[in-house]
Amino acid sequence: MKILFFVLVAACILFIGKNGVEAAGANGICCQDHPETGKCTHGVEDDPTGSCTIFCKNGGCKGAICKAIKGDESQCHCYC
């Protein structure tokens, strides 16, 4: 019974740790805007081969979108 409890606790710790790293990304770029990547045009930079998407996926994020900030300006935003 003690062994089963230990195995369940260890599995929970590993599962929680893995999800925490995945959400934050390799270097903390996920869930954030990135004006340093330059102009972001919706449908271009945030398509699967676009510069914003590549930047975010290389950083360990799920993907990217060109997020409107004011007027017709947009900037790269990495998904969580």
Q: Per-residue confidence at 7, pLDDT binned at 50, 70, 90?
A: very low
Task: Say if strands 33-34 and 64-70 run parallel, antiparallel, or are unpaired.
Answer: unpaired
What burial class does residue 46 get, using C-beta atoms within 10 Å of its C-beta: 0-12 exposed, 13-18 middle, 19+ buried?
Answer: buried
Q: What is the pTM of this model?
A: 0.64
Of 12 and 1, the structure prediction assigns the larger pLDDT to: 1
Please say if the pLDDT value at position 6 is more than 60.
no
Q: What is the pLDDT of residue 1?
A: 67
Of 28 and 8, the structure prediction assigns the larger pLDDT to: 28
Please say if the pLDDT value at position 25 is more than 50.
no
Please say if the pLDDT value at position 22 is more than 50.
no
